Amino acid sequence: MIVYPAIDLRRGRVVRLTEGRFEAETAYHDDPVAVARGFKAAGAAWLHLVDLDGAKDPTQRQTRLVAEIVRAAGLRVQSGGGVREEAHVRALLDAGVERVIVGSLAVKQPALVGAWLESFGPEKIVLALDVRLAAGVPLIAVAGWQADSGVTLDATLRTFLPRGLRHILCTDISRDGKLTGPNFALYAALRRDFPTLAVQASGGVSSLADLRRLQAEGAPGAIVGRALYENRFTLKEALAVPSFSES
């Protein structure tokens, strides 16, 4: 399992939101380059980097800062936030990003995103399909998690599998930023129903025990943010678990 330490950027700072709400922001650091270098020093191979300003307003995308972090940290990076056009995908790839994260557009314009999967290749695109549960059914949220699309996670995945979809990031929004533990049942269902997908579990990781359980249940990846910043455990401790792989 790959552990992805997370940096969320807002106005050049490292922050975390609760349930994606901008009014529920906690700022942790003023120097994201230093944070990324610290993750590299701890042994990370990957970085999950989200441009919150871009997610809220694509005209405010922080691509230049993303490029600076990629160059300085020496990590493989997946990054997104406000990706609305092919030019945005190309700009991030040109900045050194290895995988571009595409969110709401996958629901709003599936034909366009499907074409990106085919043209850039499935290793260059990761879909962020973040959900709220309605009577136990995962429905994808859009507009920076502020609205429900009414589209099920299952239907969306089945739309993109024929286009070559390989990587997805799935957040149970109700768990995000709360340190209450991941939605293990959600990820177990994804592994059962979509075994060809490399699913990154996101939201709620609060302990090494959470990571060990995700790994034991076969999760290909896990994103860790607030737990690191609030010293629940260190990244070095997480990567010291023998069964974790950072490749």
Active site residues: 8, 130
> Which contacts of 213-217 are long-range, i.e. CB under 8 A and separated by 24 or more positions?
213/184, 214/1, 214/182, 214/184, 214/187, 215/1, 215/241, 215/243, 215/244, 217/184, 217/187, 217/188, 217/191
CA distance 154 to 236: 35
d(CA 18, CA 93): 28
Q: What distance in Å separates the CA atoms of residue 54 and residue 67, rounded to the nearest whole number? A: 14
- Asked if residue 100 lies in contact with residue 124, where contact means CB atoms within 8 angstroms, the answer is yes
Structure tokens, 3: 């552990």
Q: Are 190 and 201 in contact (CB under 8 A)?
A: no
Dihedral Cα 117, 121, 126, 129, nearest 10 deg: 20
